[in-house]
Amino acid sequence: MTRELWKGNEAIAEAAIRAGLEGYFGYPITPQTETLEWMSRRMPELGRIFLQAESEPAAINMVYGAACTGARVMTSSSSPGISLMMEGLSYIAGTEVPVVLVDVMRGGPGLGNIAPSQGDYNQICHGGGHGDYHPIVLAPASVQEAVDLVPLAFDLAEKYLNIACVLLDGSIGQMMEPVELPEMRPVVRKEYAWATTGAKDRSRHVLTSIYLEVGLEEEVNLRLLKRWEAIKANEVRFKEYYLDDAEIAVIGFGTAGRVALSAVRAARAQGIKVGLFRPISVSPYPYQQVAALAERVKSLLVVEMNTGQMLEDVRLAVSRRIPIEFYGRLGGVVPFPDEILGEIQRIAKQPPSLEGHPAQRWLERMTAPQR
Amino acid sequence: MKGKAMINIISPKNLVYSRPKAFTDTPTHYCPGCTHGTAHRLIAEVLDEMNIADKTIGVAPVGCAVFAYNYIDTDFVEAAHGRAPAMATGIKRLLPDRVVFAYQGDGDLASIGMAETVHAAARGENITVIFINNTNYGMTGGQMAPTTLPGQKTTTSPNGRDVELQGYPIRVAEMLATLEGVGYVVRRSLHDPKNIRLAKKAIRTAFEVQVRGLGFSMVELLSTCSTNWGLTPVESLKWLEEHMLPYYPLGDYKIAPSVAAVKI
């Protein structure tokens, strides 16, 4: 296969199509609209289903209905649109049908802006919709990685009858990079024992998320949790860079992790023993791996494009074994490698404290009067 | 036991009325005097007559009919409140040769799900919607709905709906009839046997419209809610006739030319 120059949002759409996507339902929102546009042209020309919905709630509920037929289906949106989809996502989780969601995150809260952000981490990974459920969330750091994770998201969603989300920020959605797209896979409509396709020559199928009998609802919750335990055991993904002899480990996902890698390389050139741990599955989170990392290095630096949402997962994994520092940029600001390099240099010079909260220290530094 | 004994004494040649095949043998959870059961049965009869139950997927609403799938014996999905037309759209687009219908009440369809309703109709989505209008939110205990009549008392309009404060009820059939994508939109009532027969005919037509791919079809059914209206079943039927029919006139609001040409 040759490498071609592709825009992130379009490459994601094409990767989904080549993974055998049968139906796409979406609504325009910057910075993910190119996915919708690409689908609007490509899906009909392949004889597949594309529909622009009247709203994000409609889009996710169309996807919900389409998923009930057993077809490979997805939607995509950006932060405010994802908020609107949360109701549908909870129903999808409660009905146990496979759906893929792409969230191209932008600055928030509220209407925020259309610049890259990682502010949806908690909403996507730790809830959002009501009730007890856990989506699988994969966070690419490049267009190529996004292209590679989209087909995986479908496979995981269908394997576990779970929501699988590809979580990226606006910069990956908007940037063009050389990528190798996968081969076109044939569309395969799987024969699920639950799909609502009309009860011809079989007993009927009912897909629902209502269980008025509390015992039954508890059973459903236990089943979902058991499935999540299997996902946690089998589907943790991450990448390590320069960690073999590292004394400082930077942890960042997606674009923040990618920028941090440049900073790590620059610091290495200056002789600082620093490496990068980049979670790819941010849900299930690589808690064990981060805990093991804390045994190998002396301090951690968590870098995010939010106020420290993943930081709390790192703290959960590390406890108070080693000091953690945090560096975040907000509101659509992408950190420069130099900023992160500065943090690495500061930590190398003066190991941070075990006391206090890393995000509080960061906030004090961020808001200190400029000299 | 008693029921079985009674069935046994009916010889097949004398049998004029029985449970439709597409109707499960389950006592409904509906209140005495409620017309949901009648509407369910009419749908089941139509599915039988058209022989389409095994290619039909129902979409249940949030409301009293949330468990419609316990009674209508086809594949079923249960939608979020108001989202049935969107869910039905997703199913129909992926399975265009199946029959997909949504069954919705007035709070579901005309309040929280109005956007989904209007846009499914505007797209000419090839689905059938059975719309139960009983002027209140039944399941949650009789709150004001978009269809509650002016002056009508509900638990959230205890002094009667004041149109100055709470606006006017929505005539959904009339509104949807303005949309190009609609093939068939009519209003019928379930308050007496004659009207029930007319309602069934309309439901049959609505499904035929879908099977022929002639666009969005909806049958609005004026229905009773004895419990929340605080009336006996018989009083409820009378109340419907006296109060609902003047505001919600029965009639054919849109029959597209392609539908008019169909002989059923």
Q: What CATH number does the domain containing B28 carry?
A: 3.40.50.970
Gap between the Cα atoms of A146 and A104, Å rounded = 11
Q: Tell me what pLDDT residue B7 has.
A: 58
CA-based Rg of chain A, rounded to a whole angstrom?
Answer: 21
Q: Tell me what pLDDT residue B1 has.
A: 45
Give the burial class of B198: count Cβ atoms within 10 A of its Cβ; 0-12 exposed, 13-18 middle, 19 or more buried.
Answer: middle
Average pLDDT rounded to a whole number, residues A10-29:
98
Residue tagged 């009916």 (tokens): B10
Give me the helix-helix angle, A214-234 and A143-160, nearest 10°.
140
Query: Do the domain assignments include residue B117?
Result: yes
Q: Do residues A299 and A272 touch, judged by C-beta distance below 8 A? A: no
Structure tokens that stand for A10 in this block = 């379009």
Cβ of A198 within 8 Å of Cβ of B57? The answer is yes
Shortest CA distance from A64: residue in chain B: B87
Gap between the Cα atoms of A295 and A117, Å rounded = 31
Query: Do the domain assignments include residue B4?
Result: no
Catalogue the long-range contacts made by A124-127 (C-beta closer than 8 Å, 24 or more residues apart): A124/A82, A124/A165, A124/A167, A124/A283, A125/A167, A125/A282, A125/A283, A125/A285, A125/A313, A126/A283
**Peptide bond before A323: cis, by omega within 30 degrees of 0?**
no
**Peptide bond before A31: cis, by omega within 30 degrees of 0?**
yes
Give me the helix-helix angle, A309-318 and A287-296, nearest 10°.
60
Gap between the Cα atoms of B223 and B36, Å rounded = 7
**What is the tens place of the pLDDT at every residue in A208-260?**
999 999 999 999 999 999 999 999 999 999 999 999 999 999 999 999 999 99
Q: Tell me what pLDDT residue B174 has.
A: 98
- The DSSP H or E segment spanning A327 is strand A324-328
Gap between the Cα atoms of A303 and A121, Å rounded = 13
- Shortest distance, CA B19 to any CA of chain A (angstroms): 18
Gap between the Cα atoms of A31 and B115, Å rounded = 25
Query: Do the domain assignments include residue B85?
Result: yes
- The DSSP H or E segment spanning B131 is strand B128-133
Gap between the Cα atoms of A34 and A41, Å rounded = 11
**What is the tens place of the pLDDT at every residue in A320-342?**
999 999 999 999 999 999 999 99
Asked if A69 is an interface residue toward chain B (Cβ–Cβ < 8 A), one would say yes
**What is the tens place of the pLDDT at every residue in A230-239?**
999 999 999 9
- The DSSP H or E segment spanning B182 is strand B182-189
A-proximal residues of B, 161-190, CB under 8 Å: none
Phi, psi of B132 (to 5 degrees): -95, 115
Q: Which has more pLDDT, A127 or B57?
A: B57
Q: Tell me what pLDDT residue B14 has.
A: 81
Half-sphere exposure of A360 (CA within 13 A, CB side): 5
Interface test with chain B among A21, A39, A204, A207, by most B beta carbons within 10 Å: A204
pLDDT tens for each residue of chain B, 264 residues long: 455 555 567 788 888 889 999 999 999 999 999 999 999 999 999 999 999 999 999 999 999 999 999 999 999 999 999 999 999 999 999 999 999 999 999 999 999 999 999 999 999 999 999 999 999 999 999 999 999 999 999 999 999 999 999 999 999 999 999 999 999 999 999 999 999 999 999 999 999 999 999 999 999 999 999 999 999 999 999 999 999 999 999 999 999 999 998 777
Gap between the Cα atoms of A84 and A217, Å rounded = 25
- Share the mean pLDDT of chain A: 97
Q: Tell me what pLDDT residue A361 has.
A: 96
Range of the domain at B247: 20-260
Query: Do the domain assignments include residue B96?
Result: yes
- In 3-state terms chain A splits into helix, strand, coil percentages (rounded to 5) of 45, 20, 35
Helix and strand totals (H; E) in chain B: 12, 9
User: What is the predicted ipTM?
Assistant: 0.96
In chain A the domains, ranked by start, together with CATH numbers, are 4-234 (3.40.50.970), 239-367 (3.40.50.920)
Gap between the Cα atoms of A149 and A289, Å rounded = 20
Asked if B121 is an interface residue toward chain A (Cβ–Cβ < 8 A), one would say no
Q: Using CB atoms, which residue from B83, B98, B119 is nearest to A197?
A: B98
Query: Do the domain assignments include residue B7?
Result: no
Q: Which of A314, A331, A330, A170 is nearest to A250 (CA)?
A: A314
Asked if A64 is an interface residue toward chain B (Cβ–Cβ < 8 A), one would say yes
Our count of domains for chain B comes to 1
Query: Do the domain assignments include residue B167?
Result: yes
Cβ of B73 within 8 Å of Cβ of A204? The answer is yes
Structure tokens that stand for B233 in this block = 């079943």
Residues B161/B165/B171/B176 CA torsion (nearest 10 deg): -150
Half-sphere exposure of B46 (CA within 13 A, CB side): 28
Query: Do the domain assignments include residue B6?
Result: no
Query: Do the domain assignments include residue B240?
Result: yes
Its sign, for the CA torsion B157, B161, B166, B170, is positive
Interface test with chain B among A196, A208, A211, by most B beta carbons within 10 Å: A196
Q: Do residues B136 and B148 touch, judged by C-beta distance below 8 A? A: yes
Structure tokens that stand for A5 in this block = 């120059």
Q: Tell me what pLDDT residue A1 has.
A: 67
A–B interface: beta-carbon pairs under 8 A: 124
Gap between the Cα atoms of A275 and A295, Å rounded = 14
> At B104, is the secondary structure helix, strand, or coil?
strand
Average pLDDT rounded to a whole number, residues A36-54:
98
Band (A153; pLDDT cuts 50, 70, 90) = very high
